[in-house]
């Protein structure tokens, strides 16, 4: 079994969870619509419907591969037939291959409802899997980025769809993070050992299905209702957090959060693209602000729980370089952060309301960071960590207010 998610394969007689069944139904329903739209020569609509089948189909294949091997043959056959249908030029061959792909997916759907039911956890556990506290801040930066991009209200329908799609992407990535970190979460104290997957309340296979389904439906919603660029950006942020940060960087380098912070900096781009359908320098400056904010924010937390990271052998900076060097790095990044927050004003994309708030909030951030450097205690680390959360929310709120005025 691949080490991506460890041993999550369930006995062959076990019934897949509702999230895999939902992915299978979505893939089959989308394929049916693609076949019908192709037969009716609907052109662009047909191509869009066909493209929207890919995310749930990919979620289905991955879920089956890691948890329900009896579904793999038909899922792979359906994928191969669907890909072949997209590649062949002839109308009859195209329709025939798509029809066979649909038949294979119908078999997968039928098989996904067979087998012995196993407990799959409470709805509260699934809410926990999405890390709602982290999601709230990500949605705040995404929403304010949308208002900044639109230079005002982007429209209720667009805003709701974009934020719903972003929430699905964030929740899906967080659920997959729970799956990948379930081996180290029990080692990191009360903060993580009671998480749903680490504690065994939610089977890893169910959390995997859940995370993949949310990620797939995020792309479908954003691409169909908002725009394709927004969907791609949300997916890139999702994959970067899961594969690059969680799976690779987190366990291999003390620079994990410096590079991995790019994942948390994507939501402003998602919001901006949702409002404008493009990404320019002004949007990239918002990305840069969150990117530079992430290390001092996260290192303050890492100082608080240094022993937990050491126990789990996660090379966070305080574990590898010590608390004093980490505090020094926090001060340096805090100063750079204040400079980065002035770039939207210097570029001409923000006005006086924003710049005054950025300077005031930044001054407090640097002061707290310097206090931590002088006296590296848990109390000062906790104060900086909690302030950093408030700081980012207020900074982006000021940006949004400035854009409306």
pLDDT tens digit sequence for 23-43: 999 999 999 998 898 888 888
> What is the total residue count of the chain?
405
| Mean pLDDT to the nearest integer, 262-277 | 97
Task: Name the most confidently modeled range: 89-93, 222-226, 348-352.
Answer: 222-226
Q: CB count, 10 Å around CB of 209?
A: 31
- What is the pLDDT, as a whole number, of residue 1? 33
Rg (CA), the chain: 23
| Mean pLDDT to the nearest integer, 185-208 | 91
Is this model's pTM higher than 0.85 or not? Answer: yes
d(CA 131, CA 16): 24
Residue indicated by tokens 């404008």: 276
Residue 4 pLDDT more than 50? no
Residue-wise pLDDT for 87-102, tens only, equals 887 677 778 899 999 9
CA distances from 137 to 53, 111, 256 (A): 30, 40, 20
What are the residue ranges spanned by the domains of the chain? 18-112, 120-279, 292-405
Mean pLDDT of the chain: 93
- What is the pLDDT, as a whole number, of residue 362? 98
* HSE (side-chain half, CA atoms, 13 Å) at 4: 13
Looking at CATH, the fold of the domain delimited by 120-279 is given as Tetracycline Repressor; domain 2 (1.10.357)
- What is the pLDDT, as a whole number, of residue 96? 87
Chain CA centroid to CA 183, Å: 21
Question: In angstroms, how far apart are the furthest CA atoms of the chain?
Answer: 74
- What is the pLDDT, as a whole number, of residue 9? 56
**Contact status, residue 224 vs residue 218, Cβ threshold 8 Å:** no
DSSP structural state of residue 2: -
* HSE (side-chain half, CA atoms, 13 Å) at 98: 30
| Mean pLDDT to the nearest integer, 78-88 | 91
- What is the pLDDT, as a whole number, of residue 191? 79
- What is the pLDDT, as a whole number, of residue 42? 81
- What is the pLDDT, as a whole number, of residue 256? 95
Residue 120 pLDDT more than 90? no
Which residues contact residue 252 at a Cβ distance below 8 angstroms, ignoring those fewer than 6 apart? 315
- What is the pLDDT, as a whole number, of residue 359? 98
**Contact status, residue 349 vs residue 224, Cβ threshold 8 Å:** no
| Mean pLDDT to the nearest integer, 67-85 | 93
- What is the pLDDT, as a whole number, of residue 3? 42
- What is the pLDDT, as a whole number, of residue 5? 54
d(CA 202, CA 179): 10
- What is the pLDDT, as a whole number, of residue 361? 98
d(CA 275, CA 219): 16
Region of poorest pLDDT, from 35-49, 126-140, 141-155, 212-226? 35-49
- What is the pLDDT, as a whole number, of residue 354? 97
Token duo for residue 124 = 């509260």
d(CA 220, CA 52): 6
Residue-wise pLDDT for 158-188, tens only, equals 999 999 999 999 999 999 999 999 999 999 8
| Mean pLDDT to the nearest integer, 279-284 | 95
Partners of residue 116 on adjacent β-strands? 14
- What is the pLDDT, as a whole number, of residue 91? 72
Burial group, residue 117, by CB count within 10 angstroms (0-12, 13-18, 19+)? exposed
């Amino acid at each position: 079994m691949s080490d991506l998610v460890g041993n999550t394969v369930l006995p062959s007689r076990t019934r897949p969870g509702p999230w895999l069944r939902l992915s299978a139904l979505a893939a089959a329903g989308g394929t049916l619509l693609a076949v019908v739209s192709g037969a009716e020569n609907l052109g662009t609509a047909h191509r869009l419907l066909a493209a929207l089948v890919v995310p749930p189909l990919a979620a289905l294949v991955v879920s089956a591969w890691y948890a329900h091997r009896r579904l793999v043959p038909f899922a792979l056959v359906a994928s191969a037939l669907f890909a072949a249908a997209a590649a062949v030029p002839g109308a009859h061959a195209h329709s025939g291959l798509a029809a066979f792909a649909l038949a294979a997916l119908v078999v997968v759907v039928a098989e996904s409802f067979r087998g012995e039911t196993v407990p799959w956890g409470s709805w509260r556990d699934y809410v926990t899997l999405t890390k709602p506290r982290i999601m709230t801040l990500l949605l705040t930066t995404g929403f304010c980025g949308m208002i900044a991009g639109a230079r005002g209200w982007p429209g209720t329908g667009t805003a709701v769809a974009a934020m719903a799609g972003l929430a699905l992407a964030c929740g899906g990535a967080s659920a997959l993070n729970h799956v990948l970190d379930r081996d180290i979460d029990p080692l990191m104290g009360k903060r993580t050992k009671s998480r749903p997957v680490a504690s065994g309340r939610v089977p890893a296979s169910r959390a995997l299905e859940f995370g993949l389904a949310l990620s797939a439906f995020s792309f479908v919603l954003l691409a169909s209702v908002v725009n394709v660029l927004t969907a791609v950006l949300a997916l890139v942020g999702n994959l970067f957090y899961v594969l690059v940060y969680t799976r690779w960087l987190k366990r291999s380098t003390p620079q994990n959060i410096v590079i991995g912070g790019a994942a948390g900096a994507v939501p402003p781009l998602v919001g901006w693209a949702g409002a404008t359908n493009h990404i320019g320098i002004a949007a990239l400056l918002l990305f840069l602000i969150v990117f530079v904010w992430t290390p001092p924010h996260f290192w303050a937390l890492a100082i608080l729980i240094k022993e937990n990271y050491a126990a789990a052998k996660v090379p966070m900076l305080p574990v590898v370089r010590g608390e004093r060097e980490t505090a020094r790095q926090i001060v340096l990044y805090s100063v750079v952060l204040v400079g980065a927050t002035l770039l939207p004003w210097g570029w001409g994309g923000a006005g006086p309301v924003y710049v005054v708030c950025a300077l005031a909030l930044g001054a407090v951030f640097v002061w707290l960071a310097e206090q931590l450097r002088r006296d590296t205690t848990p109390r000062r680390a906790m104060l900086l960590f909690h302030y950093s959360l408030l700081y980012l929310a207020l900074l982006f709120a000021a940006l949004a207010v400035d854009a409306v005025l």
